[in-house]
Amino acid sequence: MWYNQPSGTTWENALPIGNGRLGAMVYGNVDTETIQLNEHTLWSGSPNRNDNPLILDSLAEMRKLIFDGKQKEAEAMANRTIISKTSQGQMFEPAGNLRLVFDTYKNYTGYYRELDIEKAIQKTSYKIGDVVYSREVLASFPDRVIVMHLTASKPHSVTFTTLFSTPQPKAKVTTTSNKELTIAGTVIDHEGVEGKVRFKGIVRMKLDEGTLSANDTSLMVKDANAVTIYISVATNFNNYQDISGDENERAAAYLNKAYSKSFATISKAHVEAYQNYFNRVKVDLGTTQAAKLPTDERLKNFNSTNDPQFATLYFQYGRYLLISASQPGGQPANLQGIWNNKLYPPWDSKYTININAEMNYWPVEKTNLASLHEPFLQMVKELAVTGQQTAKDMYGTRGWMAHHNTDIWRATGAVDGAFWGIWNNGGGWTSQHLWEHYLYSGDKAYLASVYPILRGAATFYTDFLVEHPRYHWLVVCPDMSPENAPKAHQGSSLDAGVTMTNQIVFDVFNTVIQAAKILNKDVAFVDTLKQMRSRLAPMHIGQYGQLQEWLDDVDDPTDHHRHISHLYGLFPSNQISPYRTPQLYSAAKTTLEQRGDVSTGWSMGWKVNWWAKMLDGNHAYKLIQNQLSPVGANAEGGGTYNNLFDAHPPFQIDGNFGCTAGIAEMLMQSEDGSLHLLPALPSIWQGEGNISGLRARGGFEVKSMQWKDGRIVKVIVKSNLGGNLRLRVPNKMKMGNGMTLNKAAGVNSNPFYQTEETPKPVVSPKATIRLPQLKTTWLYDIPTKKGQEYTMVGD
Ligand code: FUC
């Protein structure tokens, strides 16, 4: 990514770097360089809970109101008895800005700045007079510090003053006797929770000639040949229950260790560590002349030119952002990843778990970054602890649950008001990531270790489900379909047994049933789950041919709401399939068409995945075009900033990750009983292309895949676990050695490719169903051995 202009004062022009612990936005301004700093554990507040236990005594009454159609009364009651009376969630906080103020900056020429996502290094350069100045900055993975290197083409030309500014009201900037610049502070209180996270930042310089001096609040470099700036930030956070760490000691330890190394040494180790992740996937969708322009111009042109490399760049940038924001042992990527400059960020820059936080982790397994799933999986484990008390204190159930938001303290109470907060599936949905991680790795010891958490998520539902008095299915009540309400409910979102919830409960039960079978345990519990599963509400197809969002046929075909939660069953779940459930597939398509394309950033990202699952590459590509429009160009607002951050707006990183996952889904899918290659290749990418390194369920890795004119020329699949490889491809193929391939027959014997039968939908007599016309595909079975590679070529 590169630009001909500095960022100016616009944060969304600055370029992000990060190592999963430290994040920074680098502005690249000539007069004053700004490095806006974040640290992953720097959050407002301190360990706290936010449950409202009043509901426990009024649950029966609440349910009756909902079942009697008195949603508004139920909502008023929920605001009193369910919504938290304390914290609505704490905020991810900025540390401050390191500023380098230069004495020579006027009349610069040849300005250039870039973010090299193959190396995770940001560079800025410009010329003043006959001196070329350059800056390079990285957030080192192995060394845990941010390091900037400044050089000039003429000796003794580097002169600047370094200072800190911060929006944190309880922070102090000083210099030390050994000429370090430091910032130390305590975060703010928020919503009645005392801010107790302390942070420390230390900046130390290494000069090649020239002089370094200090006053009370700044460091002055004069006439150096080159300068290396080492930046270390740490907090006292140990985990969500314990903040007894020593931020001073930590910040100093990282700094001292790194300071002994040169920029070249740090840079080399950093690039190696980064590429260990990044290089696992390579993709080429073609390159045209359009790729020669600066990134911001390509963004402007994307909708009117043929620039397939821009989609490649955006896909790889999603991987770059995930590697930079989410590292084992760190916090999961939040609504803004690890990049926030505001004291009061939008939605607290926390974790919204009715879609956004899960979306962040959609690309992680398939784009070969599985170990970066860890921070999210760790959060789920912690939610299972805090959420156990919430389940007990609020709803009197066993197991664990979470509502629609959480934060670094793993709060699991209901927040933001009844319209948004009465959603009980934060545990159910996030727990499915544990299972997904298993499906890709096949690691049974891991599965055994997370089984109690999966079981706990199911146990909550076994205690919480109630029989619907009219329909007699087992339903969740109170319930809601995230953030949407049918007109029939007088503006209230409260309901019972909404489609998304039924789909999530179905998944949670299936997962435990399968996991228990693999681990050979819990026969009685599995029996209970099977019985209860058979009493869950099936999906409904309503009067307009749509997939119903609610149990009653009350959808509005002109509703363009950004949440289309009932399509959870199409993606990321797999209950709706073109091959297995044609009626539901048709209904899901009708729903997608009725809801329309353009929306907020993350909603468009989700739609890329849905259209990929619809096997409609051109429609998926249209959504990519909508998403890759400069912010402001779409009527509904969603789009992309110059630094390719996704715009809700404002900036929210989920859209980046959603679209990255969607591009992977267009090229390969492995959820629906086979490894499906090129399921949704848009015409614009058909000519020629290749990708290597995508991962599929059951331990398969597509080592390389080449296509031409929409047909697969050659594919090499590595089998890491053995078992049947059922391959679905758009053209006839044979083995690389010329042998014919066996046509697939019967159920796929590969245990990682089992699909649970979706209950038959209830169909409105008024519905018109257009059964799908599917493109012909070839389906083969290839028995594989663990560790072997298999080459298949077009026939
Ligand atoms: C949900 C969404 C909003 C936003 C917020 C962070 O509330 O409905 O669009 O993404 O999360």
User: Which are the contacts of 581, defined by CB distance < 8 A and separation ≥ 6?
Assistant: 575, 758, 761
639-640/646-647 β-pairing: antiparallel
Q: 562-618, pLDDT tens digit by residue?
A: 999 999 999 999 999 999 999 999 999 999 999 999 999 999 999 999 999 999 999
Two tokens, residue 679: 């399921």
Specify whether the CB–CB gap between 120 and 138 falls below 8 A. Answer: yes
Q: Ligand 1 atom closest to Cα of 335?
A: 6
**Euclidean distance between CA atoms 430 and 358, whole angstroms:** 7
Q: Ligand 1 atom closest to Cα of 347?
A: 6
Residue 565, ligand 1, Cβ within 6 A: no
pLDDT of residue 522: 98
3-state secondary structure of 404: coil
Distance between Cα 361 and ligand 1 center (Å): 16
pLDDT of residue 674: 98
Residue 358, ligand 1, Cβ within 6 A: no
3-state secondary structure of 36: strand
**Euclidean distance between CA atoms 54 and 96, whole angstroms:** 40
Q: 619-670, pLDDT tens digit by residue?
A: 999 999 999 999 988 877 899 999 999 999 999 999 999 999 999 999 999 9
CA distances from 72 to 60, 135, 241, 485, 568 (A): 16, 59, 37, 12, 27
CA distances from 65 to 55, 260, 403, 422 (A): 14, 68, 21, 15
What spatial distance separates the first Cα and last Cα of the chain, rounded to whole Å? 39
Residue 335, ligand 1, Cβ within 6 A: yes
pLDDT of residue 231: 98
Residue 352, ligand 1, Cβ within 6 A: yes
Confirm whether pTM is higher than 0.75: yes
pLDDT, average across residues 107-115: 98
pLDDT at 187 over 80: yes
Q: 767-795, pLDDT tens digit by residue?
A: 999 998 999 999 999 999 999 999 999 99
Distance between Cα 26 and ligand 1 center (Å): 27
Ligand 1, atom 1, lies closest to the CA of: 352
Distance between Cα 562 and ligand 1 center (Å): 9
Q: Mark out the alpha helices in 202-341 (DSSP H runs).
A: 247-259, 263-278, 295-301, 308-325
| Mean pLDDT for the chain overall | 98
Distance between Cα 351 and ligand 1 center (Å): 10
pLDDT at 17 over 80: yes
**Euclidean distance between CA atoms 467 and 349, whole angstroms:** 38
282-284/226-235 β-pairing: unpaired
Q: Which of 407, 423, 652 is the best mutation target for the ligand 1 pocket, counting ligand atoms within 8 Å of the beta carbon and taking the most?
A: 652
Distance between Cα 426 and ligand 1 center (Å): 14
Ligand 1, atom 11, lies closest to the CA of: 352
pLDDT of residue 510: 98
**Euclidean distance between CA atoms 310 and 305, whole angstroms:** 11
Distance between Cα 606 and ligand 1 center (Å): 13
Query: Which of 55, 51, 40 is closest to 411 using CA atoms?
Result: 51
Q: 324-377, pLDDT tens digit by residue?
A: 999 999 999 999 999 999 999 999 999 999 999 999 999 999 999 999 999 999
Angle subtended by helix axes 426-441 and 374-395, to nearest 10: 150
Beta-carbon-side half-sphere exposure of residue 616 (alpha carbons within 13 Å):
18
Two tokens, residue 4: 């001909």
Residue 349, ligand 1, Cβ within 6 A: no
Distance between Cα 75 and ligand 1 center (Å): 20
Strand (E) or helix (H) holding 366: helix 363-366
Q: Ligand 1 atom closest to Cα of 346?
A: 6
pLDDT, average across residues 150-174: 98
Strand (E) or helix (H) holding 639: strand 639-640
Q: Any bridge partners for residue 754, and if so which?
A: none
Distance between Cα 420 and ligand 1 center (Å): 10
Reported as a pLDDT band with limits 50, 70 and 90, residue 148 is very high
- Write down the residue that tokens 């948004």 correspond to: 420
Specify whether the CB–CB gap between 23 and 16 falls below 8 A. Answer: yes
pLDDT of residue 632: 87
Residue 648, ligand 1, Cβ within 6 A: yes
**Euclidean distance between CA atoms 202 and 147, whole angstroms:** 12
pLDDT, average across residues 498-511: 98
pLDDT, average across residues 740-764: 97
Residue 347, ligand 1, Cβ within 6 A: yes
DSSP tag of 722: -
Q: Which of 88, 334, 335, 347 is the best mutation target for the ligand 1 pocket, counting ligand atoms within 8 Å of the beta carbon and taking the most?
A: 347
**Euclidean distance between CA atoms 549 and 349, whole angstroms:** 28
User: Which are the contacts of 69, defined by CB distance < 8 A and separation ≥ 6?
Assistant: none
pLDDT of residue 105: 87
pLDDT of residue 314: 98
pLDDT, average across residues 683-687: 96
Q: Which residues of 211-229 are buried (b: 16+ CB within 10 A; e: fewer)?
A: ebebeeebbbbeebbbbbb
Distance between Cα 396 and ligand 1 center (Å): 29
pLDDT of residue 637: 82
pLDDT, average across residues 441-456: 98
Beta-carbon-side half-sphere exposure of residue 334 (alpha carbons within 13 Å):
31
Distance between Cα 569 and ligand 1 center (Å): 20
Q: Ligand 1 atom closest to Cα of 483?
A: 8
pLDDT at 104 over 90: no
Nearest 10 degrees: Cα torsion 570, 571, 573, 576: 10
pLDDT of residue 103: 87
Q: Which of 88, 483, 565 is the best mutation target for the ligand 1 pocket, counting ligand atoms within 8 Å of the beta carbon and taking the most?
A: 483
